[in-house]
Chains A and B, each alone.
Chain A
């Protein structure tokens, strides 16, 4: 078994599972895993950012700006650091699909911890990519993440314009008009899934659209709190 990241041999203790499940490569070695920093300790109850306060300054700002926040809250798994940035770059932009597998147990555990018990009939809705991005990358990273969850996934949203978020400034992002359109109405609570929560604009655009068309509650699960 080789580490998906550094390609070094992961362990020399071959077991029966290795014999029966050939080519099952979905993990990092210990030392590569240690480069991932999970969010821990006190976090903002709304956006999952690590902070001493109940709510962080960003979320405060959001609340002052708009009277009602369409997003109940966001929950993220990892802290942003240069290592995860490298992984994301290779996974998403280079299109190394299988790298996403390393996040499966973490995303699953986060879901179990935060969403299973209280929410019934939750539907996972991945944040879509534009047609252009889809053909370029061959897959949508948010769909892959949503696929790790033990709930139904529906592709309810579609993207209208196609500009990359990461190429825009903070101000541009917050003031852009809603880039999504809704395929059909939902009466279930929705869990939006995406890879990175940076300013929260994308998720709130999607959430607003869902709420306006009658969705009772919208939550978000993201891999990284940027």
Chain B
């Protein structure tokens, strides 16, 4: 039996090639693993290495001593280090090794006509899509796609992904947010019906089977090494990708050496903008939304008693007058607040306010959601299905999620969590549907901040570049 498996290299390769695993993560018995090692199909490297001054976790690239701790290990009866940085992905210890495939590379199927997507691209989208396709064909190292919120980034990828699948390449679409993985999976399953697709995020069971096309949170890439010919990183500027150095590390390692990396963003951060300006990073810019209408420009509403109102768990004073005079009261409403505490405190007062003014019929039409909310997925779904009219949220809904027809309000837009990128993203939630391409975006603040002004400037600038 084992001999049989041994002869069937290609099947083994699809499971192990491109991975970097702890021994517990290898889906074979220990006798089989030993056999693979002795046949020089599998190799190991120490999981944690030490030089004179630095200790490195070979799985997550962590070199920060604060993230290493000691454990008196019962396995090897020594006290040694383990890495705390990537412990959520399973603990890596100094006495352990990481396993990787050195046998013949995995062969993925070549697809005749992988795309089952029936939509069409706009001219602006097509231009970007062609650029992406060329980058993949020419195996360019990296390219940035800078497309405004609602430009239809996912669709722009389809021709390039198709091309890659035609050539039997392995493709990964990674994003920092699990919500986005969940949202993308059904869309991609529909667009590439005959292709094996796997979605990986914390707590998902898709782990067993290995697919040619992987959709994953960037954390999951810690288990890969030289795996993907095409690596697409969606929302490069999103938290925690830009804040946690182990994520870009994992993303770079997961791509093959001659692979192509495609970065997608609506709001590139300074480092990427600099790279563009210095012509270090080729890019393609998509300044128009797919429906051809300009981005809604946020309006500012100064509220002198904002802090007092929020401290007393009240909506800002100018919120109600605006609410009653919205141009299209049929639209759903997204309300962003800076902290979870505020989400919890404001829910009941807002319910009362909305019911008192007959803006909602009963209290099931307004809900609040934040990152550690167990019913988060359900609530977002309810809002999307229009069962909820109003949703009160923290920045977790700032990006990656599409609601057809909403107005957006931010309470305390001057708070630190609302940086330029966050504000542009939040404003980008409005007017995403062709049937209702406008939406109101209002920042309630108690003093303009640099971030607010920059965000508005950037939105205007993008509209200008889009020809409006």
Contacts and interface: CB of A to CB of B under 8 A. Distances in A.
Contact of B84 (A98, A134, A135): A98
A138 B87 contact: no
B65 interface: yes
20 contacts: A2-B66, A23-B65, A23-B66, A25-B66, A90-B87, A94-B88, A95-B82, A95-B91, A96-B69, A97-B72, A98-B69, A98-B70, A98-B71, A134-B74, A135-B75, A138-B74, A138-B75, A139-B71, A139-B72, A140-B74
B93 interface: yes
B73 interface: yes
A139 B73 contact: yes
Interface in B66-124: 66, 69-75, 82, 84, 87-88, 90-91, 93
Nearest to B69: A98
Interface size class, chain B:
10 to 19
B66 A7 contact: yes
Interface size class, chain A:
10 to 19
Closest 10 CB pairs of A and B: A98-B69, A97-B71, A95-B91, A138-B73, A134-B74, A94-B87, A2-B66, A96-B87, A138-B74, A138-B75
A134 B72 CA distance: 12
Contacts of A7: 66
A1 to B, nearest CB: 9
Contacts of A138: 71, 73-75, 91, 93
Interface in B39-68: 65-66
Nearest to B76: A138
A12 to B, nearest CB: 15
Interface in A1-28: 2, 7, 23, 25
B243 to A, nearest CB: 12
Nearest to A23: B65
Nearest to B67: A7
A139 B73 CA distance: 6
A138 B90 CA distance: 12
A100 B66 CA distance: 16
Contacts of A23: 65-66
Interface string B365-398: 0000000000000000000000000000000000
B227 to A, nearest CB: 25
Interface string A78-93: 0000000000001000
Name the residue in A7, A90, A97 with the highest tally of chain B Cβ atoms < 10 Å from its Cβ. Answer: A97
Nearest to B71: A97
A135 to B, nearest CB: 6
A224 B383 CA distance: 40
A97 B66 contact: no
Contacts of A98: 69-71, 84
Contacts of B69: 25, 96-98
Contacts of B65: 23
Given A23-B65, A90-B87, A97 B75 contact: no
Contacts of B75: 135, 138
Contact of A96 (B66, B72, B91): B91
